[in-house]
Amino acid sequence: MPETLPEDSIGLVSAQTMHFDAPLALTSGRTLESYDLVYETYGSLNADKSNAILICHALSSDHHAAGYNSMDDRKPGWWETCIGPGKVIDTNHFYVVCSNNLGGCKGSTGPSTINPETGKPYGPDFPIVTVKDWVKSQALFADKLGISQWLAVIGGSLGGMQVLQWSIDYPDRLKHAAVIAASPKLTAQNIGFNEVARQAIMTDPEFYEGHYYEHDSVPRRGLMLARMLGHITYLSDDAMRDKFGRELRQGKISYGFDVEFQVESYLRYQGESFVDRFDANTYLLMTKALDYFDPASDYDDDLSKALSHARANFLVISFTSDWRFAPERSREIVKALQDNNHNVSYADIEVPHGHDAFLIPIKDYLAAFGAWMQHLVKEVQS
């Protein structure tokens, strides 16, 4: 157990829960009668509430974006790289808020939550939620926090998609928007990967059509496979070669199907540890939210039209080796913003790390992101 936490960390943080009694009408046509959102905040809200930044999380992360929940934590929050005192998202200046998406499994109402109507976990009966629904729930959440306008909404990957949706659905409620390693919609290849992940989960005999909680079981194999597949797509070919090459665990080939290559060991470890911290039904939901995301579809499939009323100043960042959400997808966002003469800066960071790069302290990435954030610091100070 560490005696002290790193100095540039926000330190010990704890989650809070906000309850919502008013029914939430969802895109699917269904309604969630009541729900909770669990969230963390870092830094302090200033008097005129003009320094609040919303962080949107990606597929498998949650509201714990920075700091440590206890002195026993081995790892800090998922975006410790960027959030903290003196960091790019500087908690000395900003009030940073991150909530767990609806349908999640870390405290916000989701499939593993008890359905008040039945007294049993929602399981597969939990309504499908979309990025639009998340943003709507976050807007209601902001109302309760008393924040009428975010200084910025920031997110990577699926979080970046939420940022885009925010700027379209609530143009007056955010001044700045950072869309990192995101995409305006998924490609067929992306949906394909998600479908394989879902099939892995749903065909696991322990899945019980999503009612595994009642059977006291967990579709471990399926969720593990889904995560292993995901992991391959989050890394680049080069990153995997650099990290593992064809290195053998025992130093020689044993002509069997046990773990032989380091990469196999790594993926199995990633898959297995994921099962212990994530819920299979939530994984299914999140991948569906990704697949359905296509804000242009409400605007004649024209992304420029979708973004025509956006008012935020944008920062778009992609990573050259990201093949899950390739730079071309970010360029589509940039083009749509350019078409509308919106303020946007775009950097395509040259890195070998693949999609996961947005979580990694990369010099050029942090320099570009940091330079953009400095304007927000000035805005708060003036």
Partner 1 sequence: MNNLRPDLQTICEWINPGTRILDLGCGDGTLLEMLKTERNVNGYGLEIDIDNIVKCIAAGVNVIQTDLNAGLSDFDANSFDYVVMTQALQAVERPDRLLNEMLRVGREGIVTFPNFGHYRARTQLFFGGHMPMTPTLPSQWYNTQNIHLCTLTDFENLCAENDIHVLQRTVVDHNHRSSLGMKLFPNLLGEIAIYRFKRK
CA pair distance 309, 317, nearest whole angstrom? 21
SS3 of the chain: the string is CCCCCCCCCCCECCCEEEEECCCEECCCCCEECCEEEEEEEECCCCCCCCCEEEEECCCCCCCCCCCECCCCCCCCCCCCCCEECCCCEECCCCEEEEECCCCCCCCCCCCCCECCCCCCECHHHCCCCCHHHHHHHHHHHHHHHCCCCEEEEEEECHHHHHHHHHHHHCHHHEEEEEEECCCCCCCHHHHHHHHHHHHHHHCCCCCHHHCCCCCCCCCHHHHHHHHHHHHHHHCCHHHHHHHCCCCECCCCCCCCCCCCEHHHHHHHHHHHHHHHHCCHHHHHHHHHHHHHCCHHHHHCCCHHHHCCCCCCEEEEEEECCCCCCCHHHHHHHHHHHHHCCCCEEEEEECCCCHHHHHHCCCHHHHHHHHHHHHHHHHHHHC
Pick the binder of partner 1 from 344, 357, 359, 376 (CB under 8 A).
344
Q: Report if residue 170 touches partner 1, rule: CB under 8 A.
A: no
Q: Which is nearer to partner 1, 18 or 377 (CB)?
A: 377
CB 271 within 8 A of CB 228: yes
- Residue 329 CB, nearest approach to partner 1 (Å): 13
Restricting to residues 256-315, name those near partner 1 by CB under 8 A: 315
Q: Which is nearer to partner 1, 174 or 368 (CB)?
A: 368
Amino acid occupying residue 239: A
Q: Report if residue 189 touches partner 1, rule: CB under 8 A.
A: no
Buried b (16+ CB within 10 A) or exposed e, 25-41: ebeeeeebeebbbbbbb
Pick the binder of partner 1 from 66, 181, 224, 347 (CB under 8 A).
347
Q: Report if residue 12 touches partner 1, rule: CB under 8 A.
A: no
Residues contacting partner 1: total by CB under 8 A: 22
Q: Report if residue 343 touches partner 1, rule: CB under 8 A.
A: yes
- Residue 376 CB, nearest approach to partner 1 (Å): 11
Q: Report if residue 346 touches partner 1, rule: CB under 8 A.
A: yes
Q: Which is nearer to partner 1, 53 or 347 (CB)?
A: 347
Pick the binder of partner 1 from 339, 352, 377, 380 (CB under 8 A).
339
Restricting to residues 349-368, name those near partner 1 by CB under 8 A: 349-350, 364, 367-368
Q: Which is nearer to partner 1, 246 or 363 (CB)?
A: 363
Q: Is 297 a catalytic site residue?
A: no
Stretch that binds partner 1, among 91-99, 185-193, 284-292, 370-378 (CB under 8 A): 370-378
Q: Is 258 a catalytic site residue?
A: no
Q: Which is nearer to partner 1, 212 or 372 (CB)?
A: 372
Q: Which is nearer to partner 1, 93 or 231 (CB)?
A: 93
CA pair distance 166, 131, nearest whole angstrom? 9
- Residue 334 CB, nearest approach to partner 1 (Å): 6
Pick the binder of partner 1 from 235, 334, 357, 359 (CB under 8 A).
334
Catalytic residue, from 61, 108, 157, 318: name it: 157
CB 194 within 8 A of CB 185: no
Q: Which is nearer to partner 1, 30 or 335 (CB)?
A: 335
- Residue 346 CB, nearest approach to partner 1 (Å): 5
Q: Is 322 a catalytic site residue?
A: yes
Pick the binder of partner 1 from 331, 352, 379, 380 (CB under 8 A).
331
- Residue 221 CB, nearest approach to partner 1 (Å): 42
Catalytic residue, from 279, 322, 348, 356: name it: 322
Active-site annotation, residues: 157, 322, 355
User: Which residues of this protein are in contact with partner 1, per CB under 8 A?
Assistant: 315, 331, 334-335, 338-339, 341, 343-350, 364, 367-368, 371-372, 374-375
